[in-house]
Amino acid sequence: MWLFDSPAAAAAELPDLRKYRLAFIDFVHGVLSLMVFVAVALRDKNVVSCFYPRPGHEAQEVLDIVPIGIGLICSLLFVVFPTRRHGIGYPVTTDTSGTDKD
């Protein structure tokens, strides 16, 4: 992935792009993000009424508890295994070592 506003792009030199390869942790973050999206969707009444028009008592308890558990577990895993990639809205850093110093 080429950053169009990186400091190296202005100098017209190609930086070492090997540090931007996809790693296992990137796929883990993708799956966890998808699980958080599903958990948020399961908290919406319109989504739940589409898949479960009239949930029973036990199904309603599961629909109340599972999204909170998914959110809690995924948040814990995001804290334990943070990503070093910048997302949308992060400024481009001039650090060339590949590690963030926040």
Residue-wise pLDDT for 49-88, tens only, equals: 888 888 889 988 888 898 889 989 998 988 888 877 776 6
Contact 86, 92 (CB under 8 A): yes
More confident site: 70 or 21: 70
Asked if residue 17 is part of any domain, the answer here is no
Q: Which of 8, 1, 32, 18 is nearest to 93 (CA)?
A: 8
Mean local confidence (pLDDT), 31-45:
88
Domain with 78 in it = 54-83
Residue 64 lies in a domain: yes
Q: Domain for residue 71, yes or no? A: yes
- Report if residue 98 sits inside a domain: no
pLDDT for residue 10: 58
Whether 3 is covered by a domain: the verdict is no
The answer as to whether 29 is a domain residue is: no
pLDDT > 70: percent of the chain: 70
If one compares 70 and 17, the residue with the highest pLDDT of the two is 70
Residue 67 lies in a domain: yes
Q: Is residue 99 part of a domain?
A: no
Question: Could you give the number of structural domains in the chain?
Answer: 1
Q: What pLDDT was estimated at residue 8?
A: 56
Residue type, 86: H
Distance of CA 59 to CAs 8, 39, 54, 93, Å? 55, 15, 9, 48
DSSP class per residue in 25-86: HHHHHHHHHHHHHHHHHHTSHHHHHHH-SS--HHHHHHHHHHHHHHHHHHHHHHHHS---S-
Mean per-residue pLDDT over the chain, rounded = 78
Q: How confident is the model at residue 102 (pLDDT cuts 50, 70, 90)?
A: very low
